[in-house]
Structures are given as structure tokens and as C-alpha cells.
Structure 1
Amino acid sequence: MSSSLFDLTGQFALITGASRGLGQYLGRALANAGADLIVTSRRKDDLQPFVAEIEALGRRAIPFALDVRDLQSIEAMAAEAYASAGRIDILVNNAGCNVRKPALEVTWDDWNLILDTNLRGAFFVAQQIAKYMVPAGYGRIINIGSVTSVAGYAGLGPYGASRGGIRQLTMSLADDWGKHGVTVNCLAPGWFETAQNRVMYQDKEWVEYLKERIPLKRPGSPNDLDGAVVFLASESSRYVTGQTLLVDGGISTGAMRATLKKPTERI
């Protein structure tokens, strides 16, 4: 197998939500595979440390301000990014947010914040970037989903709805744009520690509970996503579209014991 299947040299990858967390890990993985980056955040100044890091790797990194809840902001960013880079080969639709609450406590504003950011924003970013990919006859769109795209968790109703929507949106856009050489896939991480959920990982009892449910017996580390995002962004995935790739340590299998820890009788 040729290493060129995973080589992104000469390509530009646009990553939304790149001022921290998984967005930076994903961008770093693509840069290490040879891609130059276009990075976005609501505040452009927040991107400067990451831009400097990517440039130190010998790659270009062009920062832009973007509010995915504002259509004018999306349209302006897409046009300016394309004008600056001259091409956009890869889109990583990563920007997202969450509000953890029991379903009875979720407000109208909570719901709108999460769905407008995670689902509506992802669609319109993809739409604006696809306007450049379709005429070029090539593109890789990677929507960031979650294990909540395929499983339900108490306290994550609106978030799960947004990520389930991302999975469905991925399939629809794959069907829409496949004839133009644009693949659309969903990368769905399992339980990874991020800035959004760090407080939960400070609870040792909860972490042990989580590890018990994961077949690989540990939460994800951000570098566990490196191979998956490079695969979906590169020529190696040329015949893969409309799919959701779960990188979750196996928790989506159900991960519930069907036997006692020390069976005392045949069941």
C-alpha cells in the first residue's frame, strides 16, 4: 500500500472551532499529514497560538473569525478563506457546544443554542464550502459527530438530537454531492476529555464507571482520532461516503455484562 494514499501535501483543510480542544488535535493531525490549514474561531485572536504552532511545523495556517450561528459570518468566512488559499480541499465541521441538563430543565434558549450551533451551523458551513468543492470536482467533508449520534444518554437530549441530526445530514449530503466528487462522512468520537466536559473527568468514581462500560477500558485520548481523520480526509477513503466512523473504544456496542463477574451457576 502506497503512503501517498494518506499524503495531504498541497491540500488546504478548513477546521471550524479550532481555538481549543479536538479542533486543534484534528488540525494538527492533518498538518502532520502534509495539509495547510484554514482555522476558525469566534474570536480570531484566540487562534494565534495554534497558528504559530502549525507554522512551526512548516505548514501554512490562515485564521478567520467565524460565528456558525450567523449566516453572514459563514458566507464571509467561506469567500475570504477561498480567496486567501485559492482552494479548499477538506472541511472539518468541528464547531460545537453543549449544555448538560436533565430534560425537564432544558430551556428554549438551551435547545436553540445547541441545535443552531451543532446542526444548523454545520449544514450552512458545508453548503458554503461545497460551493467551491463542487466546481472543482473534489472535496472531503468530515462532520464531527459523537457516540450520541447512535446512542442515548440522560442529560444530553438536545446535544444527542444535534449529533443524531449530523449523522443523518451526512448521509443526505453524501447523496447530494457524491456525483461531484465530494465525499461526506461523519467522525464520531466516544467519551473523550475536552474543555466542555473536563469537570466530569475530575470525578474518579464517574471515570471508573465510564471505564467499566468501555470494552477497551479507558476513555479516548485525542490522538486516538489522528488516523481516522487523516483516513477520511485523504485518497485512502475515496470510495467511502455517507458513513459514520465511531472512534469510541467500543462503548457503542452496548457494553453491558451479560454474566456475573464470578459466575456461580450455569445460566
Structure 2
Amino acid sequence: MFDLSGQVALITGSSRGIGLAAAQALGRQGATVIINGRDPAVLEQAREGLASQGIHALALPFDITDIDQAVQAVDEVSKTVEKIDILFSNAGVQHREKLLTFPLPDFERVVFANLTAQWALGRHIARGMDARGYGRIIFTGSITALLGRREITAYTAAKAAMHGLVRQWAAELAESGITVNAIAPGYIKTELTTKLWNDPEFTAWLENRVPLKKWGDPDDIAAALVFLAARESRFVTGQVLVVDGGMSSSM
């Protein structure tokens, strides 16, 4: 099951963390993976690491917040791979600050990166999927779209809207053979959460709050992604799969 041989997957924000773990998981199932990041040197290092594991990987540097650049890069790589079957739209940014002092420019920047840019690139790729009658689109949502948390007002707003977008896209693209879902990670040890997992007080709180008593790992998200990316998930669309160690299910 979950054989992805012959399929091509684009994973944005995949030079490290959840995105890189996702590329490894999809590649191990036989997919050709296109990894993405803003730094060509870091991205090439990640590609070489994947290649050393026997994974067919291509590096595609672009900044998802530069929509014209992102679309052009995807169009260029499509000349080589001819199609993109799976999109894992994972790139994102964060800004932590109290609501009453949160700068409007930072709010707009975070919402644009985590919502608008995802919408624009995802729609562009969905057009090709529509023409072929098949596709898997998976967005990175967030547990913070379900449970409020201090000091991340822009991120929460963007991810909550993303969850709504998943349902709307699923309804609109179903007749094209495209499923659209999201994964909402709980607290996962990545570069984006470095400040938190380096805080002993926060980690103690987290281990007490999460039923499984630990931080999540990028591989936990990658395993869920493989299911949503596979043909076997053909009857699953418009869903947000929460991967949080039970945090959102308990008081």
C-alpha cells in the first residue's frame, strides 16, 4: 500500500524540518520529490542527503512569498518532470509578539506568507492537476487554528483561514479528481519552534499538557502525509488531520 512510484511531489519549505522529513517519506515510497527553499546552497545540501538515501530528488529554490518567482520556477521544473501529482504546501513564517503591540506590517507579512502565497501557488498547480484529472493537495495547518495561544495572532488567523480554504477547495476540485486536505501539527521540534523547545518551563508545561507526554517529531507529520498523498486516501477530502499527541482531545 501507499506506493507512489511514478508520481511527482513538490514540497515547499523542505530544506529542513517537517518539509525535509516529508520529502524523505514520500521518496521512500517511490515518488520523485521536488524540494524547495530560499537558500540554494542549503537546498542542494538537502537534495544530496536525499540522493544518498536512494531518493530521486530535484532542488527548486524560490521564495513562496514572491508569487511570480514561485510560479515561474514551477513552470520551469514542469518541463523536466512534466507533471506534479502531489503538492505539500508547507512553507511558512512566524512572528511572536503580544496582540496589543503586534505591528500591522508583521501581521500582513505573516498572513500573506501562510495564506495568500499558499493559495496562489496551490491554485496554479491545481490547474495542471485539473487538466490531468488527478491530484493530491495537502496544506500545513496548525493546532493553533483550533486552540488559542498567546502572541501569535497573525499565524493563528492565517491557519484558521487555511482550514476553511481546505474545505472550500475540496468541494470545488472534487470533480477534477483532486483531493484537498491539511495536517494540523501540534508542537513539533523544528527550527520554527526552537525558542519554545529550548525553554525548559515550556517543555515541562507541554509534557504535562499532552497525553503522550512529549514533543512531536517531523517524522510523525511525514507519516500522516504519506497517507493523504497516496491513492488509497481517495475518499478523504476536505479534512484537517490533527497530529498533536492528543493535546486537542483532552482537557
Band of TM-score, shorter chain = over 0.9
Partner of 1:265: none
How far apart are residue 225 of structure 1 and its match?
1.7
- 8 A Cα contact 1:74 1:128, kept in partner: no
Unaligned runs of 5+ in 1: 257-267
Q: Distance in 2 between matches of 1:29 and 1:173?
A: 25
Which of 191, 196, 205 in structure 2 is aligned with 1:195? 191
- 8 A Cα contact 1:74 1:124, kept in partner: no
Secondary structure of 2:214's match?
Answer: coil
Q: Give, as a single letter, the amino acid of the residue that structure 1 aligns with 2:100.
A: L
Match status 1:165 vs 2:165:
no
Which of 21, 24, 45 in structure 1 is aligned with 2:17? 21
Match status 1:42 vs 2:34:
no
Q: Distance in 1 between matches of 2:62 and 2:16?
A: 14
Q: Distance in 2 between matches of 1:200 and 1:70?
A: 29
How far apart are residue 33 of structure 1 and its match?
1.2
How far apart are residue 53 of structure 1 and its match?
1.6
Q: Give, as a single letter, the amino acid of the residue that structure 2 aligns with 1:53.
A: G
Secondary structure of 2:195's match?
Answer: helix
- 8 A Cα contact 1:8 1:33, kept in partner: yes
Task: Calculate percent identity across the aligned residue pairs.
Answer: 36
How far apart are residue 153 of structure 1 and its match?
0.7
Equivalences for residues 1-267 of structure 1 within 5 A: 3=1, 6-253=2-249, 255-256=250-251
Q: Distance in 2 between matches of 1:224 and 1:68?
A: 24
Q: Give, as a single letter, the amino acid of the residue that structure 1 aligns with 2:48.
A: A
Q: Distance in 2 between matches of 1:11 and 1:57?
A: 18
Superposed CA deviations along residues 92-127 of structure 1, whole A, max 9, x for unmatched, are: 000000001110121011111111100001101111
Q: Distance in 2 between matches of 1:105 and 1:29?
A: 40
- 8 A Cα contact 1:145 1:186, kept in partner: yes
Secondary structure of 1:197's match?
Answer: helix
How far apart are residue 14 of structure 1 and its match?
0.1
- 8 A Cα contact 2:18 2:222, kept in partner: no
- 8 A Cα contact 2:166 2:239, kept in partner: yes
Secondary structure of 2:167's match?
Answer: helix
Q: Distance in 2 between matches of 1:52 and 1:193?
A: 23
Unaligned runs of 5+ in 2: none
Partner of 1:264: none
How far apart are residue 216 of structure 1 and its match?
1.3
How far apart are residue 81 of structure 1 and its match?
2.1
- 8 A Cα contact 1:190 1:251, kept in partner: yes
How far apart are residue 55 of structure 1 and its match?
1.5
- 8 A Cα contact 2:18 2:219, kept in partner: no
- In the superposition, the TM-score normalised over structure 1's length comes to 0.91
Q: Distance in 2 between matches of 1:45 and 1:206?
A: 33
Could you say which structure has the larger radius of gyration?
A: 1
Aligned residue pair count:
251
How far apart are residue 243 of structure 1 and its match?
0.3
- 8 A Cα contact 2:24 2:55, kept in partner: no
Q: Distance in 1 between matches of 2:146 and 2:185?
A: 11
- 8 A Cα contact 1:145 1:189, kept in partner: yes
Q: Distance in 2 between matches of 1:77 and 1:243?
A: 29
- In the superposition, the TM-score normalised over structure 2's length comes to 0.97
